[in-house]
Structure 1
């Protein structure tokens, strides 16, 4: 009679150990790289949106008046406010300057878009908000002007 041998515990542990090491590799990616990617991606979205508004201002005003059903605010005020928020927020978050404030401002823009303009696009808005929440909760990271300013202002001996 031949015995069926089960895999040895060392080979099983070796395979499981290897798997665990492989799935933990991304944990070695510096958080600052993730923060930088989130900032650049969010900045791109809002910069492009602002540029499309500026490219045809009369169309932008029409959209705010007829399609974007914003309550409590006149379209002639809402359009420049939204455009200014997108430009300011995208530039600040790109350079990592006042990043948490910029993320909060852009989260406000996302909230307005989600609630009043395109509620059916919730998945896209959730993606944008996720990037912005990362910056809001964890900051801009090492590759930012916020980091430089903090190190400069809090440098010992100053």
Structure 2
């Protein structure tokens, strides 16, 4: 090997090493921040949806009666049920309180919306479901009331 090819090889190894270090930087981001971001993002979606329903309740009832066409449930029951699920779920997810239960509840809402209301919006629903599945499977993280409650109950059980 010549001196030039050795230097070229050394430079390439240095660039590859730098690249490897750079792409590993996100691994140092605490997972609890990712969990918090997921919770806040999905809570915002459902909170806004509930607020728009409440802002014009007669229009909401009309939408449930004409456009949404949910089977087997009367629109006068479906509208308050969906609104209550969105408010309750979004607050619980945001706070990280009973977050797995709240994620499961909101996944049910997403499922109903996808199957019966707006099946063409599958990509958006998949995004919401992904965030909710993260909370369901991994929990709310250390920046949550679930974590505080778990620590408190664990300490008092000793």
TM-score by length of 2: 0.94
In the aligned structure 2, how far is the partner of 1:80 from the partner of 1:156? 39
Unaligned runs of 5+ in 2: none
Unaligned runs of 5+ in 1: none
Cα deviation 1:32-70 (Å, max 9, x = unaligned): 000000000011000000000001111000000000011
Worse-superposed segment, 9-18 or 65-74:
9-18
Q: Which position in structure 1 is the counterpart of 2:120?
A: 120
In the aligned structure 2, how far is the partner of 1:141 from the partner of 1:151? 12
Give the deviation of 1:8 after TM superposition: 3.0
TM-score by length of 1: 0.94
Report runs of 4+ in structure 1 exceeding 6 Å deviation.
none
Q: Which position in structure 2 is the counterpart of 1:59?
A: 59
In the aligned structure 1, how far is the partner of 2:131 from the partner of 2:92? 14
Q: Which position in structure 2 is the counterpart of 1:17?
A: 17
In the aligned structure 2, how far is the partner of 1:45 from the partner of 1:98? 18
Q: Which position in structure 1 is the counterpart of 2:8?
A: 8
In the aligned structure 1, how far is the partner of 2:157 from the partner of 2:100? 27
Give the deviation of 1:157 after TM superposition: 6.2
Alignment of 1:35-46 (within 5 A): 35-46=35-46
In the aligned structure 2, how far is the partner of 1:45 from the partner of 1:154? 33
Alignment of 1:62-81 (within 5 A): 62-81=62-81
Matched, 1:103 2:130: no
In the aligned structure 1, how far is the partner of 2:156 from the partner of 2:117? 49
Matched, 1:94 2:117: no
Q: Which position in structure 2 is the counterpart of 1:84?
A: 84
Give the deviation of 1:87 after TM superposition: 0.3
Aligned residues between the structures: 156
